[in-house]
Amino acid sequence: MTTFLVYNKRTGERICEAADLKDAQMMVDFDPNQREIRKSTKVIPDQVVEVSFTQLPNDKQFKAQKILPDREAVPFQP
């Protein structure tokens, strides 16, 4: 996965990391004379997390709603 790093040219401090070039460019546009974009190709390993859950006996949930086709729908009037 490619990420884009925005650095301060003078101090070398990393300002942010963006997954999209447009987002990184937006950060540079705030101060174009002092910021630069560097492309990073670091590998971010995928993670799968198994999460178990327990459903409580009186778990309150909304009942399923009936979605009407457009021809049967009526505008809401309070």
Q: Read off the pLDDT of residues 26-54 as tens digits, 9 standing for 90 and up.
A: 999 999 999 999 998 877 677 778 888 88
Instruction: Count other Cβ atoms within 10 Å, centred on residue 35.
Output: 19
Average pLDDT over residues 54-78: 75
pTM, two decimal places: 0.54
Does the pLDDT of residue 71 top 80, yes or no? no
Please give the backbone phi and psi of residue 29, each rounded to the nearest 5 degrees, phi first: -60, -20
Q: What integer pLDDT is reported at residue 66 of this predicted model?
A: 77
Percent of the chain clearing pLDDT 90 (strictly above): 45
Average pLDDT over residues 56-76: 75
